[in-house]
Amino acid sequence: MLPVIIADASPLIGLAKIGRLALLKNLYQHILIPPAVYAELQAGSLRPGGAELQQALMEGWLETVDYAAIPAAEVSELKERLDPGEAEAIALALHLPADLLLIDEQRGRVIAQQKGVRIIGTGIVLVTAKRRGHIGNVRAELDALFRCGYRLSAALREQLAAMAGE
């Protein structure tokens, strides 16, 4: 049985901008997103990586989950502290339950962990991709993300590169 992976928009957008969105398909086969994340992806469809995101949605390995699957009360409470995409992603991860939530924003990560949701970030996706032979160099991918405006501290980039044996 495939693991249930829920994603927030930022990791998807970041990976798409550097041409690495397909790593998620290679590693996890199927990614679920809530409607607010879908809306964020649609809003950025003309930006770099937008076509890759639209292709993933058309292929079906990136799939939007219906609102009915997301508890409204949970989303409402989370939206008081987070943006709509993060709130819906965490609520969906709690409701299904998900094996992993792919999320990068610090506040969302903390809240998800406090609620018992297992999380990963884009950096761990890249480390895992290297370990499984899908990419050759994590540091180069992290640098590409950074150049695209993705906020990654130098310390985090070094830590992830070390985890990848670089």
Please report, to the nearest 10 degrees, the dihedral formed by the alpha carbons of residues 82, 111, 3, 150 taken in order. 60
Confidence of residue 96 (pLDDT cuts 50, 70, 90): confident
Q: Across the chain, what does the average pLDDT equal?
A: 91
Confidence of residue 1 (pLDDT cuts 50, 70, 90): low
Q: CB-based contacts of 151: which residues, under 8 Å, 6+ apart?
A: none
The residue with greater pLDDT, 11 or 152, is 11
Mean pLDDT of 126-135: 97
pLDDT digits (tens, 9 = 90+) for 77-89: 999 999 999 999 9
pLDDT at 49: 79
Cα–Cα distance, 123 to 50 (Å, whole number) = 20
Q: Which alpha helices (DSSP H) does 60-153 contain, by range?
A: 72-79, 84-95, 106-114, 122-131, 138-147
pLDDT at 24: 97
pLDDT digits (tens, 9 = 90+) for 12-32: 999 999 999 999 999 999 999
Q: CB-based contacts of 61: which residues, under 8 Å, 6+ apart?
A: 24, 25, 29, 30, 31
Residue ranges and CATH numbers for the domains of the chain are 5-123 (3.40.50.1010)
- What's the predicted TM-score (pTM) here? 0.92
Confidence of residue 114 (pLDDT cuts 50, 70, 90): very high
